[in-house]
Amino acid sequence: MPASLIDSLATTPPLAELFSDRSVLQAMLDFEAALARAEARLGLVPQSAADAIAVAAKAEAFDLATLSHDILRAGTPGIPLAKALTEKVRASNPDAAGYVHWGATSQDVADTALILLLKRAQPVLQNDIDHLDQALRNLADQHAKTVMLGRTLMQAAPPVTFGLKAAGWLAAILRGSNHLKTSFAGALVVQCGGASGTLASLGAKGVSVARGVAEELGLGLPEAPWHTHRDRLAALVCACGVLTGSLGKMARDISLLSQNEITEVAEPGGKGRGGSSTMPHKRNPIGCALALAAATRVPGLVATFLSGMMQENERGVGGWQAEWPVIKVVVEATGVAVASMAEVAEGLNVDARKMRDNIEATQGTIFAERAVMLLGEKLGRDAAHQLLEEATKQSTAQKRHLAEVLGEMPKVKEQLGVGLLRDLEIPEQYLGSADEFRKCLLSASDKDAEQENA
């Protein structure tokens, strides 16, 4: 199912389908059918009633427009749904109609339906995370020795490698992904508590009914109903926020490296991708734009969810009613960010020659730190720093390489010698522990993956 036009930049087709009206309705109906089956096994309702309810619980048989109108009037999805389902059941089995929604409350329907949607969303997100994981590993390995400018406060700095940069993106994204998996594991529990969260209407069989519903739906059974305890969902929303922020950081880096003045990387193109309505020469970083847009939306939504956690007593007013659209948009934003950056990483064009050219364009000034460290051993740090301040000013003003300028300064030439000055501006000789850090980031990511799959 395609997304609505207003959501077309904010979700992916699988998630748009997942959160479509028909899918949401079916999730609610799945709860009602599971409730009836669990109660029938315990002798609380006739098996014939459970069968009739299950047959009637098909989303295509309901009028979505009418149901949506009634939900707004009722202030909850559960009441109009129970009424509509009761009428469907009555048409085929009048005796069974009275057993629809037996012992449950409207929030049980809404919360469990939301959890079912989240359960179905998890593999959609994970599939794109896996693609992104592999693509970034490939980039990190392929470009282990590809030198490029480091950039601090948006200015040229000593060199790094693109492999290290890619490994850094990967590690942060996988840390976020791991937190998200943990949060999903905690959140995927059934809601079955009845009016006040005690299931008193089901007598001594309340816990057994809740357990049966959880088993029917493939969800976990919490210690008790959680109507006004939203911490599990809050953890999930926050995990989405952190992951989306890390995806946004990757997107920010790539979009900056794609600027015409830099052109060290470029997103994959293709028909209808990255063009301009007025400028034929453009190759816009569209995947990065979508991820950045998602990362811009999500923090405010996280705050919105957290602000609704202070829900009153056993059932709240306004707090949980605010959650459905918030969680939907957060999950879809996370999904479009992951999918977009997976596409970017899988087809990213890395221009190693341009990266080296941009290093060369600094005329060696990015190696001033290296020269200070070398001279500092002989002259002291302060004296070395003063000499390099003078040398870099000359290098910039005269458009000459730093090593050349330093070679004309007797005190420097005396201390460093011709050989050190000649090699001063070789990027590969001033990478420090870059590759060790790259390997550590990849190794840590491998260990995390092994623990998850254990």
The residues carrying an active-site annotation are: 276, 315
- DSSP classification of residue 272: T
Dist. CA 240–CA 305, nearest whole Å: 12
Please, are residues 57 and 85 in contact by the beta-carbon 8 Å criterion? yes
To the nearest 10 degrees (0 to 180), the angle between helices 64-74 and 21-41 is 80
Instruction: Kindly report the backbone phi and psi dihedral angles of residue 421, in degrees, each rounded to the nearest multiple of 5, phi listed first.
Output: -65, -40
CB 405 within 8 A of CB 391: yes
Looking at this protein, which amino acid is placed at residue 212? Answer: G
* Total residue count of the chain as it appears in this document: 454
Residue labelled with tokens 């009275």: 98
- Nearest CA among 156, 173, 22 for reference residue 425: 156
The answer to whether the beta carbons of residues 202 and 103 sit under 8 Å apart is yes
Bridge partners of residue 350, in order along the sequence: 265
Query: Nearest to residue 287, comparing CAs of 247, 332, 243, 242?
Result: 247
Can you tell me which residue has the tokens 């508590």?
193
Helix, strand, coil tally for the chain in percent (to 5) = 70, 5, 25
Name which of 92, 61, 67, 91 is nearest 81 in CA terms: 67
Task: Say how far apart CA 335 and CA 244 lie, in whole Å.
Answer: 9
Residues 6+ apart with CB under 8 A from 146: 161, 162, 163, 350, 352, 355
Q: What is the DSSP string of 291-328?
A: HHHHHHHHHHHHHHHHHT----TTS-SSTGGGHHHHHH
Task: Name residue 133's amino acid.
Answer: D
List the beta strands (DSSP E) in 121-240.
147-152, 155-161
How far is 118 from 120, CA to CA, in rounded Å? 5
DSSP state of 214: H
Q: CA–CA separation, 267 vs 287, rounded Å?
A: 8
Please state, in angstroms and rounded to a whole number, the distance separating the CA atoms of residues 105 and 91: 23
Say if residues 340 and 287 touch (Cβ distance below 8 Å). Answer: yes
> For residue 356, what are its two tokens?
């080296």
